[in-house]
Structure formats: structure tokens, C-alpha cells
């Protein structure tokens, strides 16, 4: 049998927030992968190195965690008033599928810098020094993200003194505005609160009946109280990721929350939809040692939040889940708001396993319904490597 040579495809490996992934221009993909479907999924799986029964991604660009098994496709926007279309693919680690059901808020921070550096923005809009505003159409969830990207000497400024807990080195700050982040239609569940309630009684077999806030803002998220499931909210990754019973419990909560939100029709479908919804647990402020060893004091934060992504406790916080946290914190009566003291917060600083994060949101009531116009947070981004990725020619 003749050996099949590898092909090479232009790509950029970037960090955005506390995630990193492989970025492609749509026109650079192999022709079969330029349209949605099995060929595209197989191509991206091979790029990342999935499915990998060893869960190491040795033979691919992935990092064998939910934060590092990510892919991005960028194209000139077909949407009026936008610069680029951004499509995100969360690649499963040990299973042969790519989840397209949600956005990555962390990698959203890299889209603006990537667009500027790769010719998607008119050079006339790029000053020698200043800020470039990039309007991004997030194609997975059909929402607008506005990125404010610093430039110096006409180039994207990547270095700086902005520190982001969960990222080792400081970098330049990129401010993101997630516009109208709540769901409106279709797969998102139909509304910001799909059940119509700020708090529901969620029946979870084998666990019990839990108070839960089921919200779709940024990404569908199931919030429960830490105390109700035997936690304090100060846990780090090892306390949960090393406990198979705990992981099974969280997956059960996630599955029944997904069904209650209308995201799936049968609980078994959750296994094929790993990226959404997220499940998170909240608690009032308390002091703890972050994963870096740095002390976070109760007085430094408004509440504690821990969230799971792709079946594991996240090492910091997903950007989309941070949008959900900021949105829920603005609305009195949600579990997030109650954990933060029971009042509405225009911005909250919450504690996560790697430290703290501040996120703000603007909300108002219209006709008895809550409307959130935008959520705002700061992240950073940096190019780690650029050139080509190579995959066997028969990989897709």
C-alpha cells in the first residue's frame, strides 16, 4: 500500500484569555473542509490529535484539556456592519466529534488581533498608535462581539502589563463587549431564562432536587449552590477532577439541566453535546489559596464560582461562562446574585481556581422580562506560533 504524503495548511497557534487554539482562514482550508460537514470535522480532529485514547494529544496540536483542544475558522464577514465571521469548534479529546454548539469567550479575545494581523481590516482603519475596534460576528451563537485591540507602530500590540489570573505572563489588554448576550431563538433555548424562572427546582436522579439558575447568556449555564452538593466553592481542580463519582454527578446535573433548558429532548443526548450547557457552582465569598499558591481573601471578591467544561473542572473560568456569571449577577434573585449578597451588581469580581476575574453587564427590565444589552470583560491574546500545520492527506 502506497504511503499518503502529508499536506500543509497555513495556520496560527494563538492564546486567547486562558485558552489556546489553532486558527485558520476559511479560504486556506482544504476545499472539502471549507464547508460544514464530516470532512471538516475529520480534518480538525486530525489537526488536534483526536480521538486520543491516551488523552495526551501527542500526535496533534491539542493540549488534552478543554482549554487547549480548540479550533477557530475566520472569514470576511457576510454580515452587514461586521468585519469578520468567527466560527469556533471544540474538539473532543477521546471521542471523534467536534462540538459546534457554543462559543469560546476566551478565544474571542484573539479574534480581533488575528483579524488585524491577517489582513481582514482595512489598513486605513489602523492607526500608528491607538485602539482598533473590530466587530465580530460569532457564527455559532449568532451574536456580535466588539473587540478593542491596542496597536503600536501600526501593528497589534501583544506585550503589556495586563495580568490575567490563569495566564503565566502579562500581556496587552483587549477589552471585549459581548452584545445582547442572552439567547433569543432556536438552539439557544428561546430566552435568557428558558424556564421563565430565576431559580428552578431541578430534579436530578441520584443527587436530589437542587435549586438551580438556568440561564442562557454567553453560553447556556446551569448554576447550583456549592453547599447543596457538598462543596464550599473554594475547590481546586484536583479535588474534583480526581474524583470519578463527583464528575459523574456533575455530568448528571448537566444532562438534566440541558433537558430542562430545552437544549436536548432526551437525557442521553447530553453525551453528544459536551460543550454546552456548562455547569457551575456558586458560594458566598471565602478565602482560599489559588492554584498558583497566591492567597485570595474573602474581601477581594463578591462570590466564588467553579465551573466545569467538557467534563472537567476548569483551571480558571471560561469566558462565555464569565458572561453568564456577570449577567446573572445583575439580576436580583438568581443564585449568582444571592451568592454575591442578594443585590444586583453592575460588575462582580469572582474567585475561580486560578484567582479572580472581574466582569460587568448592563441589564434592565422590559415588560417584566429581563434584558441584558451587553457584558464586558478584559482578556489578552498572543500569537504563539505561525506557519503551517501538517496532516496526512487521507485524514479527511
Q: How confident is the model at residue 364 (pLDDT cuts 50, 70, 90)?
A: confident
Predicted pLDDT of residue 366: 84
Give the model confidence (pLDDT) of 253-294 as tens digits: 999 999 999 999 999 999 989 899 999 999 999 999 999 999
343 CB-contact burial (10 Å; exposed 0-12 / middle 13-18 / buried 19+): exposed
pLDDT at position 389: 98
**What is residue 305's predicted lDDT score, i.e. its pLDDT?**
98
Q: What is the pLDDT at residue 202?
A: 98
Q: What is the mean pLDDT of residues 194-210?
A: 97
Q: Dihedral of the CA atoms 41, 47, 28, 154 (nearest 10)?
A: 120
**So what's the pLDDT on residue 258?**
97
Cα 53 from chain centre: 24
Q: Pick 183 or 24 by higher pLDDT.
A: 24
- 455559532: which residue's cell? 140
Mean pLDDT of 304-325: 96
The pLDDT of 114-118, averaged and rounded, is 98
The per-residue pLDDT for 343 is: 85
Q: Say how many C-beta atoms besides its own lie within 10 A of residue 342's C-beta.
A: 10
pLDDT tier at 312, thresholds 50, 70, 90 = very high
pLDDT in tens, 14-60: 999 999 999 999 999 999 999 999 999 999 999 999 999 999 999 99
Report which of residues 190 and 381 the model is more confident about: 381
The answer to whether the CB of 359 falls within 8 A of the CB of 149 is no
User: Average pLDDT for residues 323-346, to the nearest whole number?
Assistant: 95
**Residue 286: predicted pLDDT:** 98
* Rounded distance between C-alpha atoms, residue 289 and residue 387, angstroms: 39
pLDDT value of residue 23: 99
Question: What is the reported pLDDT for 190?
Answer: 58
> Taking 50 as the threshold, does the pLDDT of residue 368 lie above it?
yes
* pLDDT at position 3: 86
Please tell me the predicted confidence (pLDDT) of residue 188. 43
Evaluate if pTM is beyond 0.75.
yes
Bridge partners (DSSP) of residue 243 are none
**What pLDDT is attached to residue 182?**
86
- 187 — pLDDT class (breaks 50, 70, 90): very low
The pLDDT, as a whole number, for residue 272 is 86
Q: Rounded distance, CA 6 to CA 1, Å?
A: 16
- For residue 42, the model assigns a pLDDT of 98
b/e string for 181-209 if b means 16 or more Cβ within 10 A? Answer: bbbeeebbbbbbbbbeebbbebebeebee
* Residues 211/242, Cβ–Cβ less than 8 Å: no
The pLDDT of residue 185 is above 70? no
The predicted pLDDT at position 1 comes to 56
Answer whether residue 189 shows pLDDT above 60: no
Catalytic residues: 104, 318
User: What is residue 372's three-state secondary structure?
Assistant: strand
Q: Which of 253, 247, 263 is nearest to 222 (CA)?
A: 253
How many other C-beta atoms are found inside a 10 Å radius of the C-beta of residue 268?
A: 10
* pLDDT at site 378: 97
Query: What are the grid coordinates assigned to 368, written together?
Result: 417584566
- The model's confidence at residue 369, banded by pLDDT at 50, 70 and 90, is confident
Amino acid at each position: 500500500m502506497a504511503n499518503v504524503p502529508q499536506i500543509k495548511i497555513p495556520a496560527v497557534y494563538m492564546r486567547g484569555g486562558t485558552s489556546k487554539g489553532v486558527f485558520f482562514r476559511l479560504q486556506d482550508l482544504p476545499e472539502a473542509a471549507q464547508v460544514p460537514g464530516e470532512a471538516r470535522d475529520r480534518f480538525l480532529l486530525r489537526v488536534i490529535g483526536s480521538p486520543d485514547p491516551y488523552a495526551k494529544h501527542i500526535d496533534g496540536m491539542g493540549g488534552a484539556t478543554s482549554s487547549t483542544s480548540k479550533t477557530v475558522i475566520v472569514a470576511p464577514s457576510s454580515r452587514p456592519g461586521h468585519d469578520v465571521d468567527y466560527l469556533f469548534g471544540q474538539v473532543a479529546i477521546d471521542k471523534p466529534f467536534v462540538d459546534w454548539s457554543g462559543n469560546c469567550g476566551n478565544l474571542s479575545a484573539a479574534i480581533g488581533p488575528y483579524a488585524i494581523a491577517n489582513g481582514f481590516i482595512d489598513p486605513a482603519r489602523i492607526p500608528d498608535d491607538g485602539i482598533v475596534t473590530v466587530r465580530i460576528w460569532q457564527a455559532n451563537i449568532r451574536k456580535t462581539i466588539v473587540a478593542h485591540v491596542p496597536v503600536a507602530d501600526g501593528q497589534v500590540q501583544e506585550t503589556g502589563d495586563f495580568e490575567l489570573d490563569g495566564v503565566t505572563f502579562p500581556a496587552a489588554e483587549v477589552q471585549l463587549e459581548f452584545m445582547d448576550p442572552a439567547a433569543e431563538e432556536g438552539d439557544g433555548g428561546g430566552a435568557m431564562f428558558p424556564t421563565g424562572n430565576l431559580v428552578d427546582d431541578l430534579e436530578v436522579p441520584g443527587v436530589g432536587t437542587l435549586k438551580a439558575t438556568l440561564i442562557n447568556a454567553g453560553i447556556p449555564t446551569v448554576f447550583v449552590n456549592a453547599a447543596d452538593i457538598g462543596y464550599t466553592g473554594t475547590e481546586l481542580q484536583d479535588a474534583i477532577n480526581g474524583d470519578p463519582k463527583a464528575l459523574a454527578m456533575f455530568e448528571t446535573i448537566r444532562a438534566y439541566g440541558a433537558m430542562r433548558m430545552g437544549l436536548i429532548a432526551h437525557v442521553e443526548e447530553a453525551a453528544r453535546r459536551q460543550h454546552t450547557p456548562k455547569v457551575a457552582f456558586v458560594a458566598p465569598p471565602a478565602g482560599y489559596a489559588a492554584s498558583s499558591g497566591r492567597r485570595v481573601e474573602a474581601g477581594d471578591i463578591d462570590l466564588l464560582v467553579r465551573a466545569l467544561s467538557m467534563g472537567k473542572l476548569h483551571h480558571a473560568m471560561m469566558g462565555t461562562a464569565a458572561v453568564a456569571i456577570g449577567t446573572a449577577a445583575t439580576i436580583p434573585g438568581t443564585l449568582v446574585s444571592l451568592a454575591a449578597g442578594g443585590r444586583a451588581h453592575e460588575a462582580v469580581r469572582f474567585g475561580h481556581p486560578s484567582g479572580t476575574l472581574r466582569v460587568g453587564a448592563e441589564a434592565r427590565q422590559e415588560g417584566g422580562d429581563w434584558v441584558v444589552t451587553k457584558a464586558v470583560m478584559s482578556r489578552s491574546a498572543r500569537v504563539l506560533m505561525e506557519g503551517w500545520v501538517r496532516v496526512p492527506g487521507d485524514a479527511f
